[in-house]
Structure 1
Amino acid sequence: MKQMIVNCGVKDTRMVLLDNNKLVEFASEQSSGSGIAGSFYKGKVMNVLPGMQAAFVDIGQKKNAFLYIDDVLHAHLDKQPKVKPSIADLLKPGQEILVQVTKEPYANKGARITTHYSLPGRWIVYMPEADYIAVSKKISTDGERARLRQLGSHLKQGEEGLILRTVAEEENDEAITNDLNMLRQHWQRIRESFSQKSAPAELHRDLGMVERLIRDVFNPLQDQLIIDNQERATSAITFLQTLLPANVDPPVSIHTEKEPIFHAMNIHEQLHRDFQRKVWLQSGGYIVWDQTEAFTVIDVNTGKFTGGVTLEDTVTQTNLQAASEIARLLRLRDTGGIIIIDFIDMDKETNRRSVVEALEIILQRDRTKTHIVGWTRLGLLELTRKKVREEIGGFSYETCTVCQGTGKIASWIKD
């Protein structure tokens, strides 16, 4: 069973997801609702740069959004030209286009946008112009995959694209059909807004954080939602009622005690431990987590652990435990981009494979796609994880005005 714990503050709303009483996700949203990933805009092309095969588009934000040529070509690879054209042949300055934000603006960079539109529902991801059908790879049974693919083929109209999500497994046809029809109505409203509004203009904003996470990770028949704000609880109940049968009550509890919900449920202490630079493992080993602008570096150490029969056994046990913990922390911290893991050197190839498999098992539970590239010649493991929103640390910590985030203070400052 999973528990979703929501703390509603004056400046922001924070949410944690517990899976068997263990933290697996943390999300934070400012009260202003500033996140725009997933939202649709009518934008105006400002600059077209053939040398970069990209364009900058004004969508009404502080910085122009970035549109790469691959996000302008058809979403179906089989329908793309064999020779990639110049972006100058596809877009012109002053042209008005419908775009969707795929990555939040960050630091001095504008948002990343695409013309490969997608609208996620509870059971389906609707792509109005993608022209293909896919079934989640996490649905392992061949019979169920075949059923969902056949249903998708029956429901698909024209150039539509459909992805049957993991939660669609064993779901009845009527519920999936209703979900698709609702998404079609959303798309129609977006198209109508595009024809009525002048660029730049927001046409559709994705759900708020709580509703979005309920839609994506919450099972209303098994899981529990605990929230400390009556108004937000009422909103969550209303949203859950659209996902539940008429005779089932939404599994929502309201925290009314004086002690803050994160303190009362020991969440605050766990977050503090899991977001440290140095995180201890149960065996006595530890990992060190360093973030740079370009990538994340994670170092694994045996620490106090000496329990193996041989050195190889000790090292492998530490690495296996570290692999599971790193996979959990990648999801919890929502770390994106390039990730380098320096596991302790192992002599046996079988042990190296076991470590990668341990990492993969936990990563399968993560909604964000992670790709394990492999081992480098120096024995480092390379990964990439999709980055959509600003790093969680950006919401949770403020950069020190003295050390500027290095963790070190120059000796002359102290004199």
Structure 2
Amino acid sequence: MKGRQIILDHINGREAAALMVDGQLDDLLVDSDAPRPGTVYRAVADRPVKGQGGMFLKTPDGNVFLRQVKGLAPGDVMLVQVTGYAEPGKAIPVTQKLLFKSRYAIVTPDAPGLNVSRSIRDEDERDRILAIAHDVAGEAGVGLILRSACEGADVADIEEDISAMLDLAEQVATDAEGGAGKLIDGDGPHVSAWRDWSEEAEVVTEAGSFETHGVLDALEDVQGSYVPLESGASLFVEPTRALVAVDVNTGRDTSPSAGTKANFAAARMLPRALRVRGLGGQIVLDLAPMPKKDRRGFESALRSAFRRDSIDTALVGWTPLGHFEMQRKKARQELREVLK
């Protein structure tokens, strides 16, 4: 089926949202038992971790881990926000740099200034959006980022969104005193889909729509490691405890350029393959054989593919064995863990 569909349903009793693009699963959000990214705690410093430059903090949901803790001492109370999911056996990662994020606006209390998404290129539109922001938040004294969804959006919708995030930020700031507590929950899959999948799409909300719109069939495929590529090539995405291993194969193509073609196809497919499986952390690519002169072009293709991805991914570089390494934020919980 051509076009974009946002499908809101449940899997095994868990709230879930799927983005289908031209009949293929492009993104997936599934709720879990872990604290959601965006959750804000009033936390109490517990004990520093020597050698790691971090500290464990106490929250109602257990210990969380904060980096860059210069000047903090056990017993200090602070506001922190969950940034992602913890690896097995580790504490939940948090930050003191709070963000209040919605469809049109992101409020940044610790980073003043008004900014418009760089993806909005029309100068008149940028000026229109900035004028709205100045009218609503010009005297607020906090930072504000106007997201790409603002382009062409109704003035009242943008104003309402900015005001809601400003009110939420103020509410949290005034509740900074006291013992450990949870101040706000992070957004669930359905709200996150509305917030982040802002391009035009058909929205399907009927119960059982995952089955009727092919999402369950797509989930069967992505729970495996095999990902088909163009011209019979393939890649295998296999998470281990230490890292995610990605193996690129040329298939039956034995031409001199087979390895290069397979690697470039893998670069284009990899963001989606990782995204729908909820994979992050250290990622190592075992590429098909290709001449060293093609490495720069491969890096450009990989950079272009991840630039369009919603999850921060750092391209680290080549190893002496010819592998390519990346570091990806653990913004999702691993699909195979959520669906157990």
TM-score interval, smaller chain: 0.7 to 0.9
| C-alpha contact (below 8 Å) 2:227/2:273 kept by paired residues | no
Deviates more, 1:328-337 or 1:166-175: 166-175
Contact 1:103–1:389 (Cα < 8 Å) also in 2: yes
Percent identity reads: 27
- Of 351, 355, 379, the residue aligned with 2:322 is 379
2-side partners of 1:35 and 1:105: how far apart? 10
Taking the TM superposition and a 5 Å limit, the aligned residue runs for 1:51-70 are: 51-62=51-62, 64-69=63-68
The 5 A counterparts of 1:271-290 are 271-290=219-238
TM-score (norm 2): 0.87
Report the structure, 1 or 2, having the larger strand content. Answer: 2
Counterparts of 1:134 and 1:294 in 2: how far apart (Å)?
A: 38
Match of 1:123 in 2: 104
Change (3 A) 1:35 1:52: closer
Per-residue Cα deviation, 1:159-207 (whole angstroms, up to 9, x for no partner): 4112221222344555433322111111222234444xx4221111122
Q: Is the 8 A contact 2:36 2:188 kept in 1?
A: no
Alignment of 1:261-410 (within 5 A): 261-306=209-254, 310-312=255-257, 314-347=258-291, 349=293, 351-397=294-340
Equivalent-residue separation in structure 1 for 2:256 and 2:109 (angstroms)? 56
Across the aligned residues of Structure 1 and Structure 2, the Cα RMSD in angstroms comes to: 2.7
Runs of at least 5 residues in structure 2 that lack an aligned partner in the other structure: none
Which residue pairs with 2:24 in the alignment?
Answer: 22
Name the structure 2 match of 1:190: 172
1:155-194 equivalence runs, <5 A: 155-157=137-139, 159-171=141-153, 173-194=155-176
Ranked by relative contact order (alpha carbons within 8 Å, sequence separation 6 or more), the top structure is 2
TM-score of the pair, normalised by structure 1: 0.73
Return the match for 1:215 from 190, 195, 198: 195
Instruction: Spell out structure 1 runs of 4+ moving beyond 4 A.
Output: 140-154
Aligned residues of 1:129 and 1:159 also touching (Cα < 8 A)? no
- Which of 97, 100, 109 is matched with 2:81 structurally? 100
Partners of 2:122 and 2:288 lie apart in 1 by: 37
Q: State the structure with more CA Rg.
A: 1
Letter in 2 for 1:167: A
Deviation of residue 210 (structure 1)?
0.7
What CA distance in whole angstroms lies between the structure 1 residues aligned with 2:271 and 2:187? 27
CA pair 37-223 structure 1, distance change in 2 beyond 3 A: same
Q: In structure 1, list runs of 5 or more residues that go unmatched.
A: 73-86, 230-254, 256-260, 398-415
Alignment partners' CA distance in 2, 1:146 and 1:359: 33
SS of aligned partner of 2:187: coil
Q: Secondary structure at the match of 2:166?
A: helix
Q: Decide whether the 8 Å contact of 1:104 with 1:390 is kept in 2.
A: yes
